[in-house]
A and B are shown apart, each in its own frame.
Chain A
Amino acid sequence: MGIIIDGNTRAIVQGITGTQGSFHTKLMLEYGTKIVAGVTPGKGETQIHGVPVYDTVEEAIEKHSANASIIFVPAPFAADATLEALENGIKTIVIITEHIPIKDAVNVMTYAKQVNATIIGPNTPGIITPEESKLGIMPAHIFKPGTIGMVSRSGTLTYEIAAGLTRKNLGQSTCIGLGGDPITGLNFLDALRMFEKDPRTKAIVLIGEIGGNLEELAAEYIVREKYPKPVVAFIAGRSAPPGKRMGHAGAIVMGKAGTAESKIEKFKNAGVKVAEKPNDVPELLMNLVSN
């Protein structure tokens, strides 16, 4: 169980012959993820870690049934790769690639909506349903199966908090990195909806950061829908000065919009517990879950 991916997910890896693609294919296989094929144009008829490689997604799909793809293709070609996966009927796509131009991301998301596909990323560590499947680059050992759903805009900060939860024996149902870019596929609302329907998930950790208003919208959604599961949030960037971009293309404060204060206030008003430091998340969660 968990959301989006589980033990039955059959994935292809696009960009499997690159350094990152090949390295993480190995780690995903070791974790037990079913990787059925890889795709790199020009490298067809080879193998990587025993996985057959094809020139096109079309051929990979003809020869192996697959329902997901993870993309490591370099930024200038990543939109093309994603559209290729979508057009060949793949409905769950994780885009690890960072630095994809916004215009390309907009095109990809438009098509994905049309064909009802779920895109995670770009610029994401991916998604993991502990001990079932991992489509991503996160260090697997810090996760353990459990009842906490995690959704986050950042990578290493998610690891920081996930490791903290695991240390306190708070296992996870599914952890999703939404990606640090301004335009991403899945957002906080989508994840909250999915976690709501997932019987295994008992509580949610939401990790946001400055920039944009998706956290604010999530807070409004929690109020509007009387969200039935407890949520704990952490927002990175309290100390960020306005007008400065903090690395993620997404993390920029323009005037008052998108500040940490605005997000924190909205969450508090929505009854969401907001942690002051990453380390405070497990305790807040334990209080909620034990009640």
Chain B
Amino acid sequence: MKLFEYEAKNILARYGIPTPHGGLATNPSQAHEVVSKLKPPFVVKAQVLVAGRGKAGGILFSDSIGEVEKDAEKLLRMQIKGIPVKSVWIEEKIQIKKELYFGITIDRFNQSYVAIASSVGGMEIEEIATKAPEKIIHFPINPQQGFHSFHARQMARKMGYAGNQLSELGRIFERLYCVGMDYDAELIEMNPLAETVNGKFVAADARIILDDNALFRHEEYKKRLLEGESELTPQEIEATKNDLAYVKLDGDIGVIGNGAGLVMATLDTIQYYGGKPANFLDVGGGAPAEKIAAALKIVLSDPKVKALFINILGGITRCDEVARGILEAKAKIGVTKPMVIRLVGTNEEEGKRILTEEGIHVLESMEEAAQRVVEISRHGGK
């Protein structure tokens, strides 16, 4: 789960990491109130969870309180990549001398976390990572030891700092690690971490992605996620509520399956035969009929879907439950789009019987089913 910039900055500030003075506003008069406590020049930043906000015109600079109000009003009317801007963060613009990068993320191979720093941060950090990897400093964190100030100071030294600046960077890095651990972050980064013209350090932007699986320890964010204040589309929220994994794609063949790997392979097979998947939907293991029905409802709510491919390989999942779910969905929401169903595994016979009695044909081979659904989608769902 992604946090908004203002949430991330407020957390960092609470942990003693310098962030620009600022405040949140959801309307121009609030913006006025916030900005009257700040010193110019100002920055007004749209609070949205999509990347590329700056390039989309979501960050505005100004020198006067009046301009900030206008900027806030403008941004609050804007949509960025289809997402309406509901709030803006107003802060004092930092006089940046140099942009640094510091972040902590997961190191799969070492089964731990890794701290990453660079003395060339900012927008192009990913490019630098590929083109000049020597400018990126990796520090694998030993989970038993944790990440201490001295580790952080060693990193600061490698970035070319010494003396008081090195100590201060060390302190900031160590604090950021504490935030990451306390909040169960799978990614936490300051980019840029600004070195100001007078040699101080300020987190000019901050990004935190929480581990979805740890949200039970962070109820306030889980609540926000489900209330729709998130990067999720309405279908994705509906899916989250039903404990389904749904990702919207651009094609016209709706896909439902059990198990992430199998569903991915299903999308690949559809593409192999020239079709275009409309979504990824994994019902997980052991899905009961209601969950299957909910999955159908979500996939069919995408108007682009011309045909549906249900691919179930029952292990924990029972084919009879899947069949009942399909019938339930048909009865409740009236499925009119053509369906291709591949159903094998646990209680396969019962599942097939249930569907065949209702005149629904069931296939056994994933490849055959994929070819069939691609063909149907080519003929406009007929």
Contact = CB atoms under 8 A, between A and B. Distances in A.
A64 interface: no
Interface of B: 51, 106, 108-109, 111-113, 126, 130, 142-144, 181, 184, 186, 211-214, 216-217, 245, 247, 249, 257-265, 267-272, 277, 280, 282, 284-286, 313-316, 344-346, 365-367
State the 6 A-B residue pairs at the shortest beta-carbon distance, nearest first: A154-B261, A156-B259, A247-B260, A157-B261, A101-B214, A247-B245
Nearest to A154: B261
B247 A110 contact: no
Contact of A158 (B108, B113, B217, B261): B261
A259 to B, nearest CB: 12
A76 B216 contact: yes
Contacts of A75: 213, 216
B174 to A, nearest CB: 17
A53 to B, nearest CB: 22
Contacts of B51: 243
Nearest to B316: A137
B345 A139 contact: yes
B211 A237 contact: no
A102 B214 contact: yes
A77 to B, nearest CB: 11
Contacts of A244: 247, 249, 280
Interface stretch (A29-37, A86-94, A276-284): A276-284
Contacts of A236: 261-262, 264-265, 268
B265 A157 contact: yes
B264 A209 contact: yes
Given A214-B109, A237-B268, A246 B285 contact: no
A110 B144 contact: yes
**A contacts with B: majority SS:** loop
A101 B213 contact: yes
Most chain B CB within 10 A, of A105, A138, A207, A240, is at A240
A99 B212 CA distance: 8
A256 B260 contact: no
Contact of A246 (B108, B280, B346): B280
Contacts of A103: 181, 184, 211, 214
A247 B263 CA distance: 9
A205 interface: no
A246 B260 contact: yes
Contacts of A101: 184, 211, 213-214, 217
Contacts of B142: 110
Interface stretch (A3-11, A41-49, A180-188, A222-230): A180-188
Contacts of B259: 154-157
Nearest to B367: A279
A246 B264 contact: yes
A256 B129 CA distance: 11
A265 interface: no
A245 B260 CA distance: 10
Nearest to B126: A255
Contacts of B211: 101-103, 249
B108 A183 contact: yes
Contact of B112 (A106, A212, A239): A106
B264 A20 contact: no
Contact of A156 (B113, B249, B258): B258
Contacts of A240: 264, 267, 280
A160 B262 contact: yes
Nearest to A122: B213
A209 B143 contact: no
A122 to B, nearest CB: 10
A244 B345 CA distance: 29
Contacts of A277: 265, 268-269, 272, 367
A278 B280 contact: no
A156 B319 CA distance: 13
28 contacts: A100-B213, A102-B213, A109-B111, A125-B315, A137-B315, A137-B316, A138-B315, A154-B259, A156-B313, A157-B265, A159-B262, A160-B265, A184-B111, A185-B111, A187-B109, A207-B261, A210-B264, A213-B109, A237-B268, A239-B267, A241-B249, A246-B245, A246-B264, A247-B260, A251-B260, A256-B130, A260-B268, A278-B265
